[in-house]
């Protein structure tokens, strides 16, 4: 039952991530360009260059703001990562529980006795 829930959450996160790939690429590109414009603004010596770089920076800031729904895509990617880790963790525990190694079973029973 746990795996069904993990699968549904993972599938939903994957669909959201795929649907936000376009805005995500746009956010990355506009963010990099905005950073480069900011660095050029700081390097500019005269007032005219600063005004030009500032205007370009404001335009790029508006472009970056239009791609803010891509943050949902980033959140979906993170959720997908968490689901994947949880899925692998639950698979490993199931393998350990079904092991025929008597020492692993002893360690499990010993830890259960120590909890009480």
Reported as a single tens digit per residue, the pLDDT across 90-100 is 766 655 555 56
Contact 31, 91 (CB under 8 A): no
pTM of this structure: 0.60
Q: Give the whole-angstrom CA distance, residue 116 versus residue 113.
A: 6
Give kind and range of the element (H or E) at residue 41: helix 21-43
The contacts of residue 53 (CB under 8 Å, 6+ apart) are 37, 40, 41, 44
pLDDT digits (tens, 9 = 90+) for 35-45: 999 999 999 88
* Domain layout of the chain by residue ranges: 2-115
- Calculate what percentage of the chain has a pLDDT beyond 90: 27
């Amino acid at each position: 039952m746990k795996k069904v829930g993990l699968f549904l959450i993972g599938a939903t996160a994957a669909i959201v991530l795929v649907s936000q790939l376009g805005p995500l690429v746009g956010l990355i590109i506009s963010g990099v360009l905005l950073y480069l414009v900011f660095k050029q603004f700081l390097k500019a010596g005269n007032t005219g260059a600063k005004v030009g770089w500032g205007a370009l920076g404001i335009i790029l800031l508006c472009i970056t703001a239009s791609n803010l729904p891509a943050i949902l895509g980033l959140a979906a990617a993170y959720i997908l990562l968490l689901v994947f880790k949880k899925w692998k963790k639950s698979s490993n525990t199931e393998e350990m529980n079904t092991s025929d190694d008597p020492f692993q079973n002893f360690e499990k029973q010993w830890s259960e006795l120590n909890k009480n």
